[in-house]
Chain A
Amino acid sequence: MVAFIVRRLLAMIPTLFFVSIATFIIIQLPPGDFLTSLQALAASSGSGADKAAMDNLRHQYGLDQPKYVRYVKWIAGFPRGDFGYSFEWKRPVRELIADRLGLTLLLSALSLVLMWLVALPVGIYSATHKYSGMDNLLTAGAFLGLSVPDFLLGLIYVAVGIFGFRASVTGLFSPKIAEAPWSAVKVVDLANHLFWPALILSLGGMTQLIRILRGSMLEVTGQQFIKTARAKGLSERVVIHRHAVRVAINPLVSVMGMQLPQLISGATILGIVLSLPTTGPMFIRALTSQDMYLAGTFLLFLALMLMLGNLLSDIALAWVDPRIRYQ
């Protein structure tokens, strides 16, 4: 198992290297740089900026150096935890992104947990009560869940929230207690503001897991060893939970790896819709203002999160299915 993990970690290094180069190239793609977009903004509001001052700033920010030099400087800072400087916020990138990446991670992790907590019992129920009214209802619901994208669900949630309940649905805290010191009320408020986004985010993946579990349970329960277990006189509960579910769960674990990108994508866009302080809002702002180191660091960390998530799901798969470990 250790050898397997080490092998996978080593394989990640070259990919990470290429990913960082790709990130840098993408961030460089827009014509001009932060200062030209600043200049355009200044020009549109009537105040012309002085060219010498611009050149001075450009030199100060290192924007006059060749691209590869800037890349090497940027990437060399990573081991030291120096991710460059945000032009727009006039602060080091590290100070800006830590909370936001953390919240994105928290939101994604919460919805992953929620997804599994709901999908396991429901999927098993669906398979053991095949074609029952409830199962058919769940099937229809699954297709619906897959068809309404999370950002639309977010919009609908906002609409229902402000239209029906007049409640505060966006942000992390209700406006009244946002500034208040930590208390039980504030924690409940935070949980309330995190639960619904997490649920919205998990819905697509949840329906997917339910369908897969149902399918794989149906396949497994048709096999001989289940018949044997029943013939031995084991209770139905033991047959299902001890024998069938253990085998049927494998495809779920392997699908987890491809759900992570969806979760991270979803958390980004849902953060924008619900104005949560996740990566989303700041990332999009950084992109449009060409605050390149901030945007690039976000993109790189999101990719890193995805790669690590994939690694974890592969490890989980190797753990539940020993055949993979020894390949």
Chain B
Amino acid sequence: MSVVDKPSSRLALQDGAAAGEIAAAARAGQVEARSGLTRRQLTWRRFVRSRAAVIGGLVVLAFYVTALCANILAPYGVDQRFIDYLYVPPQGLHFDLRTGLYIYGIRKKIDPDTLLTTFSADPGRRIPVRFLVPGSAYTIAGPFAARLHLFGVTDTKMGVFLLGTDRQGRDMLSRILIGSQMSLTIGLVGVFLSLIIGSVLGVVSGFYGGRVDEIVQRLIEVIRSFPAIPLWMALTAALPQHWPPERVYFAITVILSVIGWTWLARQLRGKVLALREEEFVTAARVMGASDARIIFKHLLPQVFGHIVVISTLAMPGMILAETALSFLNLGLRPPLTSWGVLLQEAQNLESLRNYPWLLTPAAFISLAVLAFNFFGDGLRDAADPHTA
């Protein structure tokens, strides 16, 4: 057993309040308690008071809405290739009143010495960017096919590449937008799986104690003795190459939750251990409530807020883990497209030097993680003001 229960990594970010601030918060708490609001309303009030958390939450929401509508927002399909336009640098978007939004044409030049093709903007040609243009077909919610994209150019020979193109002439922006579906959902599914394993084992371990507790704690200790990335690497390397993409996707979420659940289980166990001795539990027991009833009706609602907070705080770690694994060619692989898969292209020093825009997915990853961190921190402070 560890001497101290190690705080979760995000705990690190919490801002310690000076004693005066704590007293003020306690006074405010009393006022709030007297106002007759429910716990949820109080939490909500505290949450919206924190500007960083609200902005973080909105950005997270925006990310998921984008992922949901990625096919419409992206000008092209994820594997649509423009074979004449490999490694086109990002194009600037311009505006004037006559043409509206437009991009410059692309001039192709081949270096006679290195035979390297370079592209540059051709200010003489202005290509207007139109909204809601028909393009490659995609499906919405299963059977409904659509061809409309939010923006694009009418010329089908060339395209609008706001973030440039990659090795195969695929539009980076489209790939990032559609890749966000993988990157953002793998975290959700992974957290959901860890949540199920973690809450069952955590609550049971805290509630029953004794042998069960001993076994679960040992298990957690063994898992935590491995550093996360090497363990994930070893587990993902075991996935057979011939598996279909969907199965790989699911397997990765399972692997991510192998470590993820231990945090939740430890924390819930602590909570349940404390709650178990409370009078309302004794009262329920005296009234003849079964263990299951006590756990589901009395204990789980008490720790529910905690579960939500921990799962939010676990999201960035999951997103980063998927990215890291895919980056190492161990996680998702083509035809699946995630931010980590996109970063594989940036692994090569040569292409990094010549085509630095291949690193743009990194900006999206960082922004998503940052937003999740702010959001989760605010949520924790709001749900549990006394530990903040």
Name A's B-contacting residues (CB within 8 A).
Answer: 11, 14-16, 18-19, 22, 26-27, 29-31, 142-144, 146-149, 151-152, 155-156, 158-159, 162-163, 170, 208-209, 211-212, 214-219, 221-223, 251, 254-255, 257-258, 261-262, 264-266, 268-269, 272-273, 279, 283-284, 287-288, 295, 298-299, 302-303, 306-307, 310, 314, 317-318, 324, 327
Question: Which are the 7 A-B pairs with shortest beta-carbon distances?
Answer: A215-B16, A222-B19, A265-B229, A29-B238, A287-B237, A147-B370, A208-B12
Q: Is the CB of A255 within 8 A of B12?
A: yes
Given contacts A144-B366, A155-B362, A324-B3, 7 further A-B contacts (CB under 8 A): A156-B362, A158-B352, A159-B359, A211-B14, A268-B229, A287-B234, A303-B226
How distant is the Cα of A211 from the Cα of B160 in the complex, in angstroms? 44
Mind listing 7 A-B residue pairs with CB under 8 Å? A156-B359, A215-B17, A219-B18, A219-B19, A287-B237, A299-B230, A310-B2
Q: Which residue of A lies closest to B367 (CB)?
A: A147
Q: Is the CB of A159 within 8 A of B352?
A: yes
With known contacts A299-B231, A302-B230, A314–B222 Cβ distance under 8 A: no
**Distance from B270 Cβ to chain A, minimum over Cβ atoms (Å):** 15
> Hey, which chain A residues are within 8 Å of B47, CB to CB?
none
> Hey, which chain B residues are within 8 Å of A221, CB to CB?
18
Other-chain residue from B9, B225, B230 in contact with A208 (beta carbon distance below 8 A): B9
How distant is the Cα of A262 from the Cα of B9 in the complex, in angstroms? 10
B346 contacts A by Cβ under 8 Å = yes
> Hey, which chain A residues are within 8 Å of B367, CB to CB?
147
**Distance from B22 Cβ to chain A, minimum over Cβ atoms (Å):** 8
**Distance from A161 Cβ to chain B, minimum over Cβ atoms (Å):** 10
Q: Which residue of B lies closest to A272 (CB)?
A: B328
Q: List B156-210 residues whose CB lies under 8 Å from chain A.
A: none
Q: Is the CB of A288 within 8 A of B9?
A: no
**Distance from B338 Cβ to chain A, minimum over Cβ atoms (Å):** 14
> Hey, which chain B residues are within 8 Å of A170, CB to CB?
349
Q: List B1-60 residues whose CB lies under 8 Å from chain A.
A: 1-4, 6-7, 9, 12-20
**Distance from A124 Cβ to chain B, minimum over Cβ atoms (Å):** 13
With known contacts A155-B343, A283-B233, A255–B14 Cβ distance under 8 A: no
Q: Is the CB of A214 within 8 A of B16?
A: yes
Q: Is the CB of B327 within 8 A of A151?
A: yes
How distant is the Cα of A49 from the Cα of B7 in the complex, in angstroms? 54
Other-chain residue from A22, A31, A162, A307 in contact with B352 (beta carbon distance below 8 A): A162
> Hey, which chain B residues are within 8 Å of A324, CB to CB?
3-4
Of the candidate stretches B92-100, B292-300, B316-324, the one touching chain A is: B316-324
Label chain B's interface by main secondary structure: helix
How distant is the Cα of A283 from the Cα of B328 in the complex, in angstroms? 12
Q: Is the CB of A151 within 8 A of B324?
A: yes
Q: Which residue of B lies closest to A223 (CB)?
A: B19
Q: Which residue of B lies closest to A18 (CB)?
A: B222
> Hey, which chain A residues are within 8 Å of B362, CB to CB?
148, 152, 155-156
**Distance from B351 Cβ to chain A, minimum over Cβ atoms (Å):** 10
> Hey, which chain A residues are within 8 Å of B369, CB to CB?
147-149
Looking at B17, B229, B343, which has the most chain A CB atoms within 10 Å of its CB?
B229
Q: Is the CB of B238 within 8 A of A216?
A: no
B356 contacts A by Cβ under 8 Å = yes
Q: Is the CB of A218 within 8 A of B359?
A: no
Q: List B217-275 residues whose CB lies under 8 Å from chain A.
A: 218, 221-231, 233-235, 237-238, 240
Q: Is the CB of B324 within 8 A of A149?
A: yes
> Hey, which chain B residues are within 8 Å of A212, CB to CB?
12
Looking at B6, B240, B359, which has the most chain A CB atoms within 10 Å of its CB?
B6
> Hey, which chain B residues are within 8 Å of A216, CB to CB?
16
